[in-house]
Amino acid sequence: MNSDSANCHRLWSACPTPLTPGFEIDEDSLHRSVDWQHSLGIEGLFVAGTCGEGACLAESAIDLLARKAVEFSAGRMPVSVQVTDNSIDRVIDRIRRAQQAGVDLVTVAPPLFEVGVTDRSLRHFYGGVLDLSPLPVCIYQLNRKTLLPAAFIEEIYMHPNLRMIKDSTADAERQKLVFAVAEKRSDLVVLTGTEIGYYEDFICGFHGGLLGTAILNAKWALAMHAAISAGDHRLAKAISDHMSDFMLAIFGGKSIRSWMGGLKMCLHRMGIFTSTTSYYDMPPTEDVQESIEDLVARKFWEYDPSLVGSETNAS
């Protein structure tokens, strides 16, 4: 895997979107969120993604979210916004809006409407977006039937306008193809989106993570990166296991039944979000609420090597 130090052990946040009870962008909470994430050591912000409820937000709300994220970041962290849509024309329209908002790059996931999608149409979709985009592009791959066909990975990922990849496929064979392209491109950053079991996916060859949970676990994730750099994989695995444990407690167990509800309740109790309002109907159960209250009282986000049974401090 590419060992360029500029690419190693990166951490981006797929930011949850703070909403008012009336489902408007909560600008005060967003400002606190951006400042908080910078204080954690997060490198870049990705807004209006899956964790950011971007598929539910009005275009005007996404424009405001992107513009304010750029304003509040004030050059401290690059900002990307999701521009996923069903055709090249619609994606390019959204990219132009993102450009006006001042973002640094855009993120494109598979088309939302999967009817009539073929291998050839996906090749055309990604290639056309990369050719026409006035901004650098991040491609976000999920394990869906609209996944970029393996036969076209090298062709698309070698495109000079592609700067970053978020891979949430957990598909080892596909990932090998992606890493082979990254070996040829020192400017291409390849990040995993896997959050539960972060270590196992990370060590396959990723440069870092683009995580919806980074707003909560960034200090732990960065400590895991540091442990790997120091050659202490036992500690790195223990840190990752601890991260998985407290994230599952917040999300309601392996079924992830209260993912967004637990995440926003946690941020509310931490004083970052004013409201827990979400488009997703995933309220935390009473036992999850109790777990969150306990975790917040113990400031679970602070890296503590004693909690993973090691005398080594990798932070």
**Under a CB-based contact definition with an 8 Å cutoff, are residues 284 and 252 in contact?**
yes
Domains in the chain with CATH codes: 10-232 (3.20.20.70)
- Can you list the alpha helix ranges (DSSP code H) found in 252-315? 259-269, 286-297
Nearest to 96 by CA among 122, 121, 66: 66
Q: What is the spatial distance between Cα 306 and Cα 166, in angstroms, rounded to a whole number?
A: 32
Tally of CB atoms within 10 A around 231 = 9
pLDDT by 10s per residue, the chain, length 315: 344 444 568 999 999 999 999 999 999 999 999 999 999 999 999 999 999 999 999 999 999 999 999 999 999 999 999 999 999 999 999 999 999 999 999 999 988 776 778 899 999 999 999 999 999 999 999 877 778 889 999 999 999 999 999 999 988 999 999 999 999 999 999 999 999 999 999 999 999 999 999 999 999 999 999 999 999 999 999 999 999 999 999 999 999 999 999 999 999 999 999 999 999 999 999 999 999 999 999 999 999 999 996 434 433
CA 157 to chain centre: 19
Residues 6+ apart with CB under 8 A from 182: 1, 2, 157, 188, 190, 205, 207
Instruction: Quote the pLDDT of residue 94.
Output: 98
**Under a CB-based contact definition with an 8 Å cutoff, are residues 152 and 177 in contact?**
no
- Is 235 strand, coil or helix? helix
Residues 6+ apart with CB under 8 A from 206: 167, 190, 191, 192
Instruction: Quote the pLDDT of residue 309.
Output: 62
Say if strands 44-47 and 162-167 run parallel, antiparallel, or are unpaired.
unpaired
pTM comes to 0.93
Nearest to 45 by CA among 9, 82, 18: 82
Say if strands 10-14 and 44-47 run parallel, antiparallel, or are unpaired.
parallel
In 3-state terms, the chain is what percent helix, strand and coil (to 5)?
45, 10, 40
Instruction: Quote the pLDDT of residue 314.
Output: 35
Q: What is the spatial distance between Cα 124 and Cα 128, in angstroms, rounded to a whole number?
A: 6
**Under a CB-based contact definition with an 8 Å cutoff, are residues 102 and 134 in contact?**
no
Structure confidence by residue, pLDDT tens digits, 44-62: 999 999 999 999 999 999 9
Structure confidence by residue, pLDDT tens digits, 127-166: 999 999 999 999 999 877 778 889 999 999 999 999 999 9
Instruction: Quote the pLDDT of residue 5.
Output: 45
Residues 6+ apart with CB under 8 A from 149: 119, 122, 123
Instruction: Quote the pLDDT of residue 142.
Output: 86
Average pLDDT over the chain, rounded to whole? 93
Instruction: Quote the pLDDT of residue 246.
Output: 97
* Token pair recorded at residue 39: 């204080």
Long-range contacts of 226-231 (CB under 8 A, 24+ apart): 226/9, 226/314, 226/315, 227/312, 227/314, 228/9, 228/202, 228/203, 229/8, 229/9, 230/312, 230/314
